[in-house]
Chain A
Amino acid sequence: MDERKQAILDYVVSEYLEEDDDRTIGEDTPLITGGIVDSFSMVSLKRFLEKKYGIQIPDADASPEAFDTVNRIAALVERFKKS
C-alpha cells in the first residue's frame, strides 16, 4: 500500500473505529456503505484530506460513492492534486 493510502487508512481507523471494534479495514473495505464513515464523519474526512494534501475538493465531487473506500478516496486526492 502506498504512503497516501496508508495515511488515509490510518486516519479512518484512528478517527472512526471504536477502540473495541476489531474489524480489519483494507483499501477496498466499504467505509460508507459498511457503516464506518457516516455523513457527519465525511465533514472531518474531507477537511483532513484538504489540509493534508493542500487541495480543495468541490462539494459536487465529495459524494458518498467517492468516499466509500480508501482506494476511491486516494483516487479523488490524486485527481485534485493534479488539477
Chain B
Amino acid sequence: MNASTGILGLGTDLCDIRRVERELRATERGFVGAVFTRAEIAACGDGPHAARRFAERFAAKEAVLKALSFTDGRGAFWQDVEITRRGEGPAAVRLQGRLEELAARHAAGRIHLSLAATGHHALAVAMIEERGGAAPRPDTNHTGD
C-alpha cells in the first residue's frame, strides 16, 4: 500500500560529461573529493566510463537538491546526497547529514530518481513524495531509469 499523500518536490539537472572529464584531469582542483562520497568514488571507478558515471551522479545530486529546495536547504550539500547504482541498473538516493534532518523535518518521503545519458550529457529527474503514515522514511528510495 502506498501511504504517500502527494508530491513535495520535483527537480531536474543536466550535466555536461566533458566538463567532468576536464575536472577529472585537473586532480588538483579536488572536484571529486568535494562532491562525491567514498562509496560513489569507488562505484564510478577510473575507467573509460568514469566521467559519465560521475556526471550522472552529479546531475542526480543536483536534481535531488532542487527537489528538496522547499526545505530551504540551500547550500553545497553535495555529499549529503549519496547516489547508489548497481551497474546500469536503477539508481537510488540516500540522504545524510543536514539534508537528512531537513527532509525529515519537512515530511519528505520516498525519492524517485531517473537517469539518462547521451554521449555528452547526463540527465537526472528527481521527485519527492510527501511522507504518509506514521513510519518516517526520509532516507531511501527506489528509482528507475
Report which A residues bind B (CB closer than 8 A): 39-40, 42-44, 46-47, 57-65
Stretch with Cβ within 8 A of A (4 or more), from B23-31, B85-93, B112-120, B136-144: B23-31
Does chain A have a CB within 8 A of B129? no
Residues of B in contact (CB 8 Å), total: 22
Does chain A have a CB within 8 A of B74? yes
How far does the Cβ of B125 sit from chain A's closest Cβ, in whole Å? 16
Closest to B30 in A: A47
A62 touches B34 (CB 8 A): no
Binary interface encoding of chain B residues 2-38 relative to chain A, with 1 for a CB under 8 A from any of its CBs, else 0: 0000000000010110010001000001110011000
Residues of chain A within 8 A (CB-CB) of B75 are: 58-63
CA distance A14 to B52 in the complex (A): 26
CA distance A65 to B73 in the complex (A): 12
How far does the Cβ of A49 sit from chain B's closest Cβ, in whole Å? 11
A44 touches B29 (CB 8 A): yes
Residues of chain B within 8 A (CB-CB) of A65 are: 74
B62 touches A63 (CB 8 A): no
How far does the Cβ of A7 sit from chain B's closest Cβ, in whole Å? 17
How far does the Cβ of A35 sit from chain B's closest Cβ, in whole Å? 14
